Structure 1
Amino acid sequence: MSPRRTDSRRRMVAGAADLLAEHGAAAVSIDRVLAHSGAPRGSVYHHFPGGRVQLIDEAVVFAGDFIAGLIETAVDDPDPLRAVDAFFTLWRERLVRSDFRVGCPVVAVAVENDDTAPEPARSAAAAFARWQQALTALLLRHGLPEERGRRLAAFLVAAVEGAVVLCRAERGTGPLDAVAVEVRDLLDHALRTARPPS
């Protein structure tokens, strides 16, 4: 594949992820992706023989990998609370920078049922699982039992994603800020009680 074709493909996938984040899956069409990405029309079916469904599916995988990379980088921090704070900061900045127009592209697909094209929903489920695994690994590394770590990781993903939805609806960071404080307190307590007294 030539560099130019690879770049067109990447631009279309990233453009579809942007549109998912702002408008939801139902609003993502080939025409909108081409207009947003500036990619040539002739490249669509060359790169995406499965058409719109394949393009949306790959955009979900792309977005899931991007956010997983951010989580995995954050969890390298030796302070687990600082790592979680960084995740909330990332979302706060993203919301404010977009004037509360942009949410999570993975959530956009997960909440829209399309039984005729189940691939994007499966990719969304895989992305959520990967994020939870990374957060579980962080919590286990800091002494939480495996079952508690898994539950808290699921809670954290659900809390952040729900807060992002509320922030978009309210056009303010209040819900995310409130959830960040409560999650921090919960994790701080869980981590302190998991460690044996010194």
Structure 2
Amino acid sequence: MGTDSRERMVRSAAYLFRERGYSGTGFRDVITHSGAPRGSIYHHFPGGKVQLAEEAVRYAGEFLNAGIQAAVEGGDAASAVDAFVAWWRQVLVKSDFRAGCPVVAVTVESHEDAPQLAAAAAAAFDRWQDTLVTGLANSGVPDARAARLATLIVSAVEGATILCRAHRDLRALDEVVAELKEMTRAATFQDA
């Protein structure tokens, strides 16, 4: 029951939360999806489903942040938007619009008896925003504007993803991306 089994379970939980949500995903689903040994879930996650969900949110947050980080290193503000959206576009299409963001799925189902889930989600969102702020600032967007734009990018893309799932098409995401890219390009030419 090594680390590999634990990592597979965390990845599987994040994957399943995207389509089924937190409440709709059980330990049995995670075991089946991950191929982990039956008794390993309680061995690796003595804190139960809340602990597994918290780690899955952290994993998903870091996974997406790595993509954003790679894109913002180029110094082009619009590429940061593209990077943030590219993964969502792929997830939506590959899942036939059944999957969304695992961080959002856990956030909307967080309960007062598990505040650590909301805290993990907030940390993931903050990390994405911080990475976007850095990328925007490095491309010439004034710091205060970069912070506002980063919040807008995360909020708009997450909202557009929900609209895409509801409508079963990418139109909302495409429209949001076009506007966000225009805004980020225009912001790079403003004076601080």
Superposed displacement of residue 82, structure 1: 2.5
What RMSD, in angstroms, separates the aligned Cα atoms of the two structures? 1.3
Per the alignment, residue 6 of structure 2 pairs with: 9
Contact kept? 2:110, 2:117, Cα under 8 Å: no
Contact kept? 2:14, 2:102, Cα under 8 Å: yes
Q: Which runs of 5+ in 2 are unaligned?
A: none
Superposed displacement of residue 145, structure 1: 2.1
Matches for 1:53-64 after TM superposition, within 5 Å: 53-64=50-61
Contact kept? 2:75, 2:136, Cα under 8 Å: no
Distance 1:129 1:72 in 2: 13
The match for 2:70 among 73, 78, 89 is: 73
Per the alignment, residue 30 of structure 1 pairs with: 27
Distance 1:137 1:45 in 2: 39
Per the alignment, residue 165 of structure 2 pairs with: 168
Do structure 1's residue 123 and structure 2's residue 120 form an aligned pair? yes
Do structure 1's residue 159 and structure 2's residue 159 form an aligned pair? no
Q: Which has the larger radius of gyration?
A: 1
TM-score by length of 1: 0.92
Per the alignment, residue 82 of structure 2 pairs with: 85
Distance 1:194 1:170 in 2: 39
1:67-122 per-position Cα deviation (integer Å, ceiling 9, x unaligned): 11111111112322123223222221221111111111001111113111111111
Q: Percent identity?
A: 51
Distance 2:115 2:31 in 1: 23
Superposed displacement of residue 130, structure 1: 0.4
- Of 175-184 and 134-143, more deviation after overlay is shown by 134-143
1:125-163 per-position Cα deviation (integer Å, ceiling 9, x unaligned): 000000000000111112222211111100000011000
The match for 2:104 among 73, 83, 107 is: 107
Q: How many residues align?
A: 192
The match for 1:139 among 136, 144, 148 is: 136
Distance 2:155 2:56 in 1: 21
Q: Which amino acid aligns with 1:159?
A: A
Distance 2:191 2:84 in 1: 22
TM-score by length of 2: 0.95
Superposed displacement of residue 25, structure 1: 0.8
Contact kept? 2:100, 2:161, Cα under 8 Å: yes
Contact kept? 1:143, 1:194, Cα under 8 Å: no
Q: Secondary structure at the match of 2:98?
A: coil
Q: Which runs of 5+ in 1 are unaligned?
A: none
Distance 1:52 1:82 in 2: 36
Contact kept? 2:75, 2:135, Cα under 8 Å: no
Distance 1:125 1:149 in 2: 19
